Amino acid sequence: MKERLLNWLACPLCGGALTLRSARGRDGEIVDGSLGCDRCDHAWPILRGIPRLLPPGMGCETSATAARFAYEWSRYDEIRPEYEAQFRGWISPFDPAGFAGRVVLDAGCGKGRHLRLAARFGARDVVGLDVGASVDVSARNTSDLGAVHLVQGDLARPPLRPGAFDVVYSIGVLHHLGDPAAGFRALAPLLVPGGVLLAWVYAREGNEALLSALGPVRRMTRRSPPGLVRVLAWPPAALIHAAVRAVYRPARSR
């Protein structure tokens, strides 16, 4: 954690300013320590360079979703070249040049793939917020970027100061919340006047029949242990992979 991250943090319980109470550092970074709220005096830990600002009493659904995605991002943590084209499409018509020199929030940063892009597009500082242990995956994937900061916290109750960010984006996250509209409303106050809020969510895009067929399967698997889901997914994934290769390889060879 870099000490300047305190410029954007707030207590998730009362909104008060957070100050550094104890710290152990290495190479200019705070590795472990604690933050304290100037208003309610609550203490928050810093572990492995990341402030852990999860409010007590998070719902079971939020905790389960966080655990599921943390498992996925820890298993599939690679950063792939095609992510840039995807990101550009998801934030369109916003021009990535608009990140240059700005303070940016990635609300639901997952494994950090979009943090890297925002930093590469010239953002002055990029804060990645995620509710789960996937923030540790993000930290590994962005450890070479001095502009990136990580925070573990709840998007629905963001531990961040109002009016702190020039650009806020949330890609593929809000629809996983128990109340997506409330999550959107929680992000809006974090912007400076005239700031930009970008959100991309799942949509019905001619895929209604597929969603209808997969809906019961998804409802079952999201309640199952991630390891079991991974084992069960192998046979259909192998069939789909073979079919896709059979269809697209001849097309590419023309």
| Kind of pairing between the strands at 50-53 and 148-153 | parallel
Please give the mean pLDDT across all residues of the chain.
Answer: 88
* pLDDT bracket for residue 202 (50, 70, 90): confident
Question: Which residue is listed with tokens 């970027």?
Answer: 145
Count of the separate structural domains present in the chain:
2
pLDDT bracket for residue 227 (50, 70, 90): confident
DSSP code, position 17: B
**One domain, residues 36 and 161:** yes
Q: What is the pLDDT confidence band of residue 68, given thresholds at 50, 70 and 90? A: low
- Higher pLDDT: 252 or 33? It is 33
Stretch 105-124: mean pLDDT, rounded? Answer: 97
- Whether 97 and 129 map to the same domain: the answer is yes
The answer to whether residues 236 and 155 belong to one domain is no
Same domain for 218 and 164: no
Q: Are 173 and 155 within 8 A, CB to CB? A: yes
156 in the same domain as 245: no
| pLDDT at position 234 | 77
**Are 128 and 244 found together in one domain?**
no
Among 33-37, 56-60, 80-84, 162-166, the range scoring the smallest mean pLDDT is 56-60
Q: Pick the last residue of a domain from 161, 181, 200.
A: 200
Residue 75: its pLDDT value, please? 65
Residue type, 254: R
Judge if 122 and 185 occupy the same domain: yes
CATH of the domain at 164: 3.40.50.150
* Stronger pLDDT, 231 or 174, i.e. the higher one: 174
**What are the CA-CA distances from residue 162 to residues 11, 15, 56, 111, 165 (Å)?**
12, 9, 21, 25, 8
- Given a contact cutoff of 8 angstroms between Cβ atoms, the answer to whether 77 and 112 are in contact is no
List Cα–Cα distances, 21 to 8, 38, 67, 134, in angstroms. 17, 11, 29, 25
Q: Which residues contact 195 (CB under 8 A, 6 or more apart)?
A: 165, 166, 167, 168
Tell me the HSE value of 11 on the side-chain side, using a 13 A CA sphere.
19
pLDDT the model gives residue 232? 75
Handedness of CA 84, 139, 65, 169 (dihedral sign): negative
State residue 63's pLDDT score.
58
Q: Are 180 and 232 in the same domain?
A: no
Q: Both 136 and 237 in a single domain?
A: no
Specify the higher pLDDT residue, 36 or 57: 36
Rounded to two decimals, the pTM is 0.83
Task: Specify whether 40 is located in the same domain as 69.
Answer: yes
Percent of the chain with pLDDT over 70: 85
Q: Which tokens sit at 163? A: 């009016």
DSSP state of 202: -
pLDDT at residue 166, as a whole number: 99
Sheet of 103-107, strands arranged across: 18-26, 29-37, 43-47, 50-53, 148-153, 125-130, 103-107, 165-171, 191-200
Taking only the tens place, the pLDDT of each residue in 131-184 is 988 999 999 999 999 999 999 999 999 999 999 999 999 999 999 888 999 999
One domain for residues 73 and 38: yes
Full residue range of the structural domain in which residue 131 is found: 3-200
Same domain membership, residue 215 and residue 174: no
